[in-house]
Structure 1
Amino acid sequence: MEAPREGPTWWDRLAALGRREPSFRPRADPLAEPRLRQRADAATLAALFVVAQLVIPARLVLRGLPISLTPADLLGLFLLLCWLCAHFTTTLGAAKGRLPIRTALFVYGVGHLIIYGYTTLSYLPKDELNLADHSAVLIAANLGVALAVCDGVRGRERLDLVLKTVVVSGAVISVIGGLQFVFGLDLTQYMALPGLRPTGVEGVEAVIGRSDFNRVASTMGHPIEFGVVCSMLLPIAAHYGFHARDRGQPAGRWWLCTGLIAGGLMFSVSRSAVLGVASVALVLFLGWPHRRRLQAMAATVVFLAGIKVLVPGLLGTLFNLFATIGSDDSVRFRTHDYSWALAEIGRRPLLGRGVGTWYAPKHQVFDNQYLLTLVEAGALGLALFVGIASCGMAVALMIRARSTDARDRNLALTLTGCLLVPLVCAATFDLLSYPGVTALMFLLVGVVGALLRATRDEPPPAPQPQGRGATVEVMR
């Protein structure tokens, strides 16, 4: 017979170590309520939309469809369907009631429906009619994103999920752009996904030369779009960096994202990106406290010094884009077509000839969204474009004026600066022709609406206790 064991073997001790709870981990309170698992909601779908819109290369569209739709477009249409279904019930968690942002989105949608009806009322060539139909679908998808975020993202925690996804996705595409800039390595060539195909419409390469530098587009359709997107994402990343410690979270990860996005902005070598970040900086510096201004200025000086050391000549190239603006070929190309635009605007000044119907190479290219909107959608379309961004800015400033929470006030100021970027950069390129920056603008308009609901619906913070002992307890 086998002799009895005198004690546990090494295998028993190893198994016991695997079952043993670490000493530093607090034991669960048996009387505490179990934490409910967060179910997927509009914030989850919006976060997926952000990843699909920013990370998946813009030139990839779904196979087997009669029109070119990206996965992000399909998610936008699905969000619109979810929003419509949610408003037929009272049990799906969609917010009800009048809201300035939702009214502005409704006016935008009805206005473009009128323009589309006017466009298709008369004869159009088949190619232009197909593009008008495609543009109508994309407008519906963007409206679906904004409405779903506005009415479906409830509470600051879920709103943070959407915006943090925006920041992390911006850092990812900045890394991709950095590899394109430094090594000429285009990772988007290897990012083909099942069920997607490259579209034949996008003829712009991801890496373009400018003044001995690689001008990169990352996953976007053009380097200008990439730079403008980075200028809209940069202040959001900085917002989470400044307020991370208020939430009891490490700030390093958000400052890393801020630095990466700032690098992506520089790597686009784009005049529009510089104008965009300058407009954001103007808004933030007017609203920030003095101490934060000094911190931002110091960080900017350190960043620019690092760029000058690591990438010699890049700052000089960006400076020359503005110093030689009077003799720059790209500027002359943008201004020589004003006579063409004015002649076309005079034919249909109110409703235009149809959104998406004026395209290259069939027609003269307008690197100015205001001119292009007047040609395609008339004065009504221009009012809708300026109005939707201006409404988002006005509501954000209203939130800042009414809120007593420092984080909400800074987020509202940040969103104001972000929505100013499309209005400024629309004068330098055909902004609405690029889905990434257009979708980001509508997403942020919806975020403003969700922030307004959060500040109105949630109860005000409890008053702080008074007295010396209470002050010590609060600080603890």
Structure 2
Amino acid sequence: MVADLSGRTASRTDGATLAVLFTFSLMIIPARLVLKGLPLSLTPANVLSLIAGLAWMCATFTTTLGLAKGRTPVRTALFVYVVALLATYGLANYGYLPSDERNLADHALVLVLANVGLALAICDGVRSRERVDFLLKGVVVAGAIIAIIAAFQFLVDLDLTKYLELPVLRFASEGGDVDARDSLRRVASTTAHPIEFGVLSAMVLPLAVHYGFKAKSLGQPALRWWLCALLIGMGLMFSISRSAVLSVGIVGFIVFLGWPGRRKLQALLVVLAFLALMRVMVPGLLNTLYGLFANFGTDSSVQYRTHDYSVAATEMSKHLWLGRGIGTWYAPKYQVFDNQYILSGVESGVIGIAVLVGIFLSGIFSALRARYLSTDPWARDLALTIAACLVAPVVGAATFDLLSFATVTGISFLLIGVAGALLRLATAEAAQQAIMGTEATQRWSWRTGRDGTTSWPVFRRPAPGASARR
């Protein structure tokens, strides 16, 4: 049992419980595995997120289940996001759509509702900071597990995802999850692509570092979290992804700015030691990663990403505001856009780009606002970490079609929901402290000395029955 800020005892079965189940099913079950016997290709994580959204919707009609009520930046942004994409879906279906594109639009709309439902269930259903920690620690542990799978893929060329197929699941697509770059294996672990795995690792790594520092400061076992951070960091390197390095650099810079001086020095020493370890373990890996940026202007992957701008501009001009329909632009029928902002512009128009950016900005704002309102140093540190983690998908969306990859998209919406929950908790905590401060002030008065210049506080005993009335 957990006590929330109102003093009531809350059950441990809340939004965090469903979110942890979602996290492990999303990250550990390979992304190519979907449930058998369904008309749509849905993963177990998709089903759990739909259940979470349904539970949130049902709980909003009650006042006894402890679900938070009222408007927040995250709730507002998610509402606008859903309305905009429903308008896009409706406009696309109003006219003629080929059957293949119509089916993909239906599938895309289901996934949108699933992700938004998960975020709302976390934003309104996670009722204490302990439950937030429970959820995020689950994300860290799942991140470490898939990093181990990636290590087997990279170091010994053993793909463990082949052994994770359950009887109720089937592979939605053929092919493995191991690629190659400069004679080194690029691995995706259980995700759909090495870029996705790299950006996902960049989002999860700061959480492991946060809990490592927190456990050490509180005198709790910290080695487990440092081991998770090491594994996740190694997995990020094994993806050999420019997007991953760019994302972790920006995320690290943000949390570095908010850390105290001593922790900054410790972090720099740890990073140098980690890079030295990677140089010894995998000769040539650091040189390959350096080459991704040194040869940026002549890299074929960069040139491929930029040559399709004219195609995208032509398509966007046909449906400027609401696009041609979510999920209707797909390979190999159409040109691949390795840029989520361009893809969103084609599928959902200028409004679609705006609402996509808006949901991430709402999460970042909510986390930073929670940091401002909180007085607990570790709550402030966690809020800064969440804000930094949400910058990674904003950056990654410019380098690959992020929403086409279920794992990194699901964790992004999960963190948006966590940011909303942190702001709710911080706001309630600040309001409670303000009430306590007002009551304390009302119990004291100032007595002036006979000289008229000296004053000192005097406790004013409350009237009989006053405390009971309060």
TM over 0.5: yes
Q: How does 1:52-71 map to 2 (within 5 A)?
A: 52-71=25-44
Instruction: State which of 278, 295, 298 in structure 1 corresponds to 2:249.
Output: 278
Q: 1:173: which partner in 2?
A: 146
Q: Deviations over 1:37-72 (max 9, x none)?
A: 954222111100000111110000000001100000
Q: Does the 8 Å contact 2:154/2:185 carry over to 1?
A: yes
> How do 1:68-217 and structure 2 match up within 5 A?
68-200=41-173, 203=174, 205-217=176-188
**Partner Cα distance (2:137, 2:27) in 1:** 13
Q: CA deviation at 1:460?
A: 4.4
Deviation at 1:238, TM superposition (A): 0.5
Q: How does 1:424-463 map to 2 (within 5 A)?
A: 424-458=395-429, 459-460=432-433
Cα drift, residue 405 of structure 1: 1.1
- How far apart in 2 are the matches of 1:301 and 1:378? 44
2:235 maps to amino acid = G
Cα distance between partner residues in 2 of 1:204 and 1:297: 39
Pair 1:295 & 2:263 matched: no
Tell me, yes or no, if the aligned pair for 1:60 and 1:198 is still in contact at 8 Å. Answer: yes
For 2:226, the equivalent position in structure 1 comes to 255
* Distance in 1 between residues matched to 2:99 and 2:31, nearest whole Å: 25
| CA contact 1:77–1:141 (8 Å) conserved in 2 | yes
| Corresponding residue number in structure 2 for 1:8 | none
Query: Which amino acid counterpart does residue 169 of structure 1 have in structure 2?
Result: A
- Offset from partner CA, 1:162-182 (integer Å, 9 cap, x none): 000000000000000000000
Classify the secondary structure of the residue corresponding to 1:176.
Answer: helix
Measure how far apart 1:245 and its partner are. 3.1
Residue matched to 2:329: 358
Further displaced range: 103-112 or 350-359: 103-112
Question: Once the 2 structures are TM-superposed, how far is the Cα of residue 337 of structure 1 from its aligned partner?
Answer: 0.8
Instruction: Measure the CA separation in 1 of the matches of 2:216 and 2:298.
Output: 48
Report the identity percentage.
58
Deviation, structure 1 residue 402: 2.0
Task: Return closer, same or farther for 1:358/1:249 CA change in 2, 3 Å cut-off.
Answer: same
The answer to whether the Cα contact below 8 Å between 1:204 and 1:221 also exists between their aligned partners in 2 is no
State the secondary structure of the residue aligned to 1:61: strand
Partner residue of 1:334?
Answer: 305
In the alignment, does 2:240 pair up with 1:264? no
TM-superposed CA distance for 1:456, in Å, is 2.3
- For 2:249 and 2:10, how far apart are their aligned partners in 1? 42
Check whether the contact 2:373–2:427 (CA below 8 A) recurs between aligned residues.
no
Counterparts of 1:423 and 1:349 in 2: how far apart (Å)?
22
Deviations 1:419-470 (A, max 9, x none): 111111111111110011111111000001111122222444999xxxxxxx
Counterpart of 2:349 (choices 367, 378, 396) is 378
Assess, with a 3 A threshold, how the Cα gap between structure 1 residues 231 and 83 changes in structure 2: closer, same or farther. Answer: same
**Deviations for 1:72-117, whole angstroms, at most 9, x for unmatched residues?**
0000100010001101111112111221211111111111111111
**Separation in 2, partners of 1:322, 1:63:** 43
Distance 2:117 2:304 in 1: 36
How far, CA to CA, are the matches of 2:75 and 2:217 in structure 1? 31
**Shift in Å, 1:365:** 0.5
CA contact (8 A) 1:204 1:222 kept: no
Q: CA deviation at 1:249?
A: 1.7
1:350-429 equivalences in 2 (<5 Å): 350-429=321-400
SS at match of 2:37: coil
Q: Does the CA contact (< 8 Å) of 1:272 and 1:425 recur in 2? A: yes
Partners of 1:104 and 1:221 lie apart in 2 by: 28
Q: How far did residue 229 of structure 1 move?
A: 0.2
Question: Residue type of the partner of 1:454?
Answer: L
Identify which range, 43-52 or 449-458, moves more after superposition: 449-458
Residues 64/412 of structure 1: CA separation in 2 closer, same or farther (3 Å cut): same
| Aligned-partner Cα distance in 2 for 1:455–1:428 | 34
The answer to whether 1:227 aligns with 2:227 is no
1:113 maps to amino acid: L
Contact 2:179 2:186 in 1 (8 A): yes
- Structure 1 range deviating more: 239-248 or 360-369: 239-248
Change in CA separation of 1:92 and 1:38 when aligned onto 2, cut-off 3 Å? closer
Q: May I ask how many residue pairs the two structures share in their alignment?
A: 426
Letter in 1 for 2:152: L
CA distance in 1, matches of 2:253, 2:95: 46
Counterpart Cα distance in 1 of 2:97 and 2:263: 55
Unaligned runs of 5+ in 1: 1-35, 464-476
Contact 2:370 2:427 in 1 (8 A): no
Q: For 2:176 and 2:231, how far apart are their aligned partners in 1? A: 22
**2:188 and 2:239 in contact (8 A); partners too:** yes
Q: What's the counterpart of residue 453 of structure 2?
A: none
Query: Cα–Cα, structure 1 residues 300 and 260, in superposed 2: closer, same or farther, change >3 Å?
Result: same
How many angstroms apart in 1 are the aligned matches of 2:371 and 2:68? 21
| Shift of residue 366, structure 1, vs aligned partner | 0.6
Q: Are the counterparts in 2 of residues 44 and 162 from structure 1 also a CA contact under 8 Å?
A: yes
- Give the CA RMSD over aligned residues: 1.5
Alpha-carbon distance between aligned partners in 1 of 2:193 and 2:258, rounded to the nearest angstrom = 32
- 2:443 corresponds to which residue? none
Distance across 1 between alignment mates of 2:218 and 2:135: 17
Question: How far is the alpha carbon of 1:145 from its aligned partner?
Answer: 0.7
Report deviation, 1:204. Answer: 5.1
